[in-house]
Structure 1
């Protein structure tokens, strides 16, 4: 029988494993899974989910997996919240749909960063509900980061390192989706 700690970390570990496994797929297979706005508009709806699990290069993958591990350690063991699997599914859909409708200039998107921003903001908002004041600091920090990205645009050095333009809109939509998801499940988040 799995321990409670391992059960709470399992969705993060599955996401980490799946992202890593998809990274080693042949490029032609990855292209069938990446977020492509035109393909989604023609009915290939799986791309709203699968595009988040792909990465442009190894550094991009490692940065996102490190972020996932940090989130797992930060929020993984906290009870009384929407299950992480549901968070990832709902954040993938909401971020993907927001990109499709609100950022039509983004034709192709890959990476976990939108989901990571959403998980962080969901966790911080849930922290507030559960009486942890650190949630406010996290939300303020994310708001400053995302606001600076929207004001200044993507970081060209980071874009060069990950061999893709940083999708700052995915960060914004993921963060907003995370807060909204937590607010929608507010009454179900148990207070500590």
Structure 2
């Protein structure tokens, strides 16, 4: 990564983290709230940028800040696209498939989707396939563990229950975006021949 790309990456992270911190101040206006789902559509996105507390915020921002350096070939515009699509996907899945979820806050579902989508993207690079496969296996193992035995000690750390459904939905969303991306690229290549 050259100096210009590094500066852009750091600026992107700083803006995203600052945005999340600002929303955190008035989090009650930005969380996912089922009862106002269609009346306050901004919550479809903002719910994933607010957190149940500052510890929750710092943990998610740490995982978010690592992502672009773990997958340096993923461009900021791709991350922005994922940050627009994944929260929407998770919010609508909550509303239609998990009616018992009345409130939600946190980036962890989106983070699972980001890591899955980026790892899937990296599978196309021969030198990165092993690493990408390890990341995908770790995410899958984490989701299986959470849905079988419950969340990893994170609930005690952040002082709130973990909604493991968000992690599962995020990973499914990331997988769907990657499949659609590669399908579009395949069609484009086939039509250019």
TM-score of the two chains, using structure 1 as the length reference: 0.86
The unaligned stretches of length 5 or more in structure 2 are: 187-193
Asked whether the equivalents of residues 11 and 84 of structure 1 are also in contact (C-alpha less than 8 Å), the reply is no
Give the equivalent residue in structure 2 for 1:88: 83
- Over 6 Å off, 4+ runs: none
Count of residue correspondences: 181
More RCO (CA 8 Å, sep 6+): 1
CA distance in 2, matches of 1:38, 1:22: 20
Give the equivalent residue in structure 2 for 1:177: 173
Quote how far apart the aligned CAs of 1:129 are: 2.2
Give the equivalent residue in structure 2 for 1:14: 15
Quote how far apart the aligned CAs of 1:65 are: 0.8
What SS does structure 2 have at the residue aligned with 1:4?
helix
CA distance in 1, matches of 2:142, 2:68: 21
TM-score of the two chains, using structure 2 as the length reference: 0.85
CA distance in 2, matches of 1:7, 1:81: 8
Quote how far apart the aligned CAs of 1:30 are: 1.9
Give the equivalent residue in structure 1 for 2:56: 60
Asked whether the equivalents of residues 12 and 84 of structure 1 are also in contact (C-alpha less than 8 Å), the reply is no
C-alpha RMSD of matched pairs (Å):
2.1
Partner of residue 50 from structure 1, selected from 46, 49, 69? 46
CA distance in 2, matches of 1:185, 1:47: 26
Partner of residue 161 from structure 1, selected from 142, 157, 173? 157
Larger Rg: 2
- Determine if the alignment matches structure 1 residue 69 to structure 2 residue 70: no
The unaligned stretches of length 5 or more in structure 1 are: none
Task: For 1:119-138, list aligned pairs within 5 A.
Answer: 119-131=114-126, 132-133=128-129, 134-138=131-135
